[in-house]
Amino acid sequence: MSELRYSIATGDWVIFSKARARRPHDFVQSKKDAAALPEHSASCPFCPGNEAKSGASLFQLTDKGAWKVRSVPNTFPALSPDERIDRKTDGFYTSMGGFGHHEVIVESPRHNTSIALMSDGEVEDIIRVYLSRYITLQAVPGIEAVTIFKNHGPMAGCSMAHPHSQIVATPVVPPHLRGRIALAVNYYEINGSCVYCRMIEGELKAGTRILAETEKFIAFLPFASPFPFIVWILPRRHMSNFSDMDEAEIRDLARTLKHILGKLYRGLGDPDFNLTIRSCPAKAKENSFFHWYLIVIPRLSQPGGFEMGTMMPINTSMPEEGAEFLRQVK
């Protein structure tokens, strides 16, 4: 009554439990009791007129003197450019100063919107700010990796209602990304090709997990999805680093992302989710083995003791059924 699936790109085994299986409609969220947000909040530091509360813009896009998207320092940063970067070793123990950068990207002047509800042009502006700050931060001396992420809703760790994303530049490559790169290198050495490029070919051939096909991007629920309704968005062109996108790809990514988040919004009742861009570090910016991608993880389930103890997920939703459900959402 169960099936185990292996992901060659992530190295994960996932258990699909048919005995615990839930139909796609079972994951629809109910937010009828949630209070409607105002377009502007006097107490929100990200709303227009409250810029002094969030700090001076590090970068912004404007229209007729008003900002459309802005990047500001995080008020409670995980890392700081003022910290030292030197490492200390004491026997088995190694530490270093909390050097890095932590910014907030305010996605819109409107307090009560989200990417799923924005225009194509508004989402393009967000991607352009992502790209600008990514390029700037990965060039900072001492920075090894830059991570762009978005938390939407309290289950995803979001504490501010105003639509925003975050970007963190770290002096080390995060272990999760390091592991993905190692697997990609190993696959390339054995097969002479990018595992993500082969994944794109395989998903297009199978067709059952595809959510969107555009000229520049493909979106699908992976074969070994560790959680329900996870979506990967990959560029068709081999690119190891997020900064390699051209203008046509920026526009296409914006439309694809809005399309996918719109389907989740309408089909699953605006679920909480985490969004992350996984990209090769700047020092290995151009290579044949890694392929950057964007991942959306709806927070529709909680890991239990087995998952936490083994790091082997149990998914109660087959990705083929989830993809079919979302394809029907208008």
Residues annotated as catalytic are 164
Length of the chain: 330
Query: How far apart are alpha carbons 63 and 124 in whole angstroms?
Result: 14
DSSP 222-253: -TT-SSTT-EEEEESS--SSGGG--HHHHHHH
Strands across the sheet containing 273-278 = 59-63, 66-73, 101-106, 164-170, 145-152, 273-278, 293-298, 231-235, 217-220, 210-213
Closest CA to 224 of 183, 262, 260, 190: 183
Tokens of 108: 């819109």
State the DSSP H helix or E strand holding residue 171, giving kind and residue range, or none if neither.
none
Question: How wide is the angle at C-alpha 257 spanned by C-alphas 253 and 116, nearest 5°?
Answer: 140
Distance CA 300, CA 313 (A): 13
